[in-house]
Amino acid sequence: MTDWTEASAPSADDIEALAREVLAGLPPEFAGYAAAVILRVEDVAGEDVLDELEIDDPLELTGLYDGIPQTEKSPSQPQHFPDTVWLFRRALLDEWAERGDVSLGALVRNVVIHEFAHHFGWSDGDIARIDRWWE
């Protein structure tokens, strides 16, 4: 039996390390595009983000891509902010505990791949056709 008396919840650094492992394993045709994206881990999304997405409970948002997808970028219209993938630690931990049937690494991997898929230009519908994670 595991001794939980000395265990602590995974930190933002722990979540980031899991995410960086996923990024290190991307196929070469995606790795270059992904390298330009900033990866950030916060406890929860800010109120402004939640309001914009019309989300009431911050624990419902595990990740977010903020940027212009590769398929929409144009040299004639430069972007004035860096593409960023946000991971939300508390929401990830909440979903991990609630599911109880996946490792934290598998959950982080799924969210990272999903958010970077948006960077590559995939819609939620495109992603859902090949990744039925929620089932």
Domains in the chain, ordered, with CATH? Answer: 20-73+80-130 (3.30.2010.20)
Residue 69 · residue 121 · CB < 8 Å: yes
Chain segment 28-78, per-residue pLDDT in tens? 888 887 888 999 999 999 999 999 999 999 999 999 999 887 777 777 676
32-69 as b/e, with b when 16 or more CB fall inside 10 Å? eebeebebebbebbeeebbeeeeeeebbebbbbbbbee
Which pLDDT belongs to residue 133? 56
- pLDDT tens by residue, 64-111: 999 887 777 777 676 677 899 999 999 999 999 999 899 999 999 999
Residue 132's pLDDT band, with cuts at 50, 70 and 90, is low
Average model confidence (pLDDT) across the chain = 87
> What's the token pair of residue 37?
């994206």
